Copies of this chain bind each other. A is one copy, B any other.
């Protein structure tokens, strides 16, 4: 790809992220993006048909890497023998925070439907083969969408806290809050679990 193309593309992405961080997505105009990116109007449209298309492509790039190595330990990157759901979610959260924290958290927190839709689709595919046993007593697709939306909500909440919580703690809270039965590991008598003090709400803003 031409160097010029890469330059402008990057400039657009950068500007977009910056604007998303400070504005409601819906209120961002193409003129703003152009201005902020320092490019010409027709150039923008040479790359993206529309603001939503820009978001779509950005999602595609973001999400293409999101589940890479999700079955390895997020710290040591060793492949886990029997990866737990909580472990994989932790890895996923690490990835999100380290690479896409702002835009991802912000758009989920805003409830921006376009982005949320993409993200949920991705999560649904991930959760589907891993649904807990109790889904036999609840319609499978309902169960799935509850778990998915819960995870989105957790990330949105995390963003609201400016990522003050550690990924593994958040993953643990999520799993616990959704009433997920972790098999064996993380039982209440384990040090990693039962000793966590009751937490006082965690409100920041």
Instruction: Report A's interface with B, CB cutoff 8 A.
Output: 110-113, 116-117, 134-143, 145-146, 149-150, 152-154, 156-157, 173-174, 176-180, 196, 198-203
Contact = CB atoms under 8 A, between A and B. Distances in A.
Given A138-B173, A150-B150, 6 more contacts: A112-B113, A137-B173, A138-B199, A141-B201, A141-B203, A143-B177
Contact of A111 (B111, B177, B178): B111
Given A111-B111, A111-B113, A146 B138 contact: no
B177 A146 contact: yes
A180 B199 CA distance: 19
10 contacts: A110-B113, A112-B113, A139-B203, A141-B157, A142-B154, A145-B156, A146-B154, A177-B179, A178-B179, A179-B179
Contacts of A199: 136-139
Q: In the assembly, how many copies of this chain are there?
A: 2
A86 to B, nearest CB: 13
Contacts of A153: 145-146, 149
Contacts of A174: 146
A173 B116 contact: no
Nearest to A194: B137
B141 A176 contact: no
B176 A139 contact: no
A139 B139 CA distance: 28
Contacts of A138: 173, 176-177, 199
Contact of A139 (B134, B142, B173): B173
B180 A142 contact: no
Contacts of A113: 110-113
Contacts of A141: 157, 201-203
A143 B146 CA distance: 14
Nearest to A110: B113
A203 B142 CA distance: 9
Given A113-B110, A134-B177, A202 B139 contact: yes
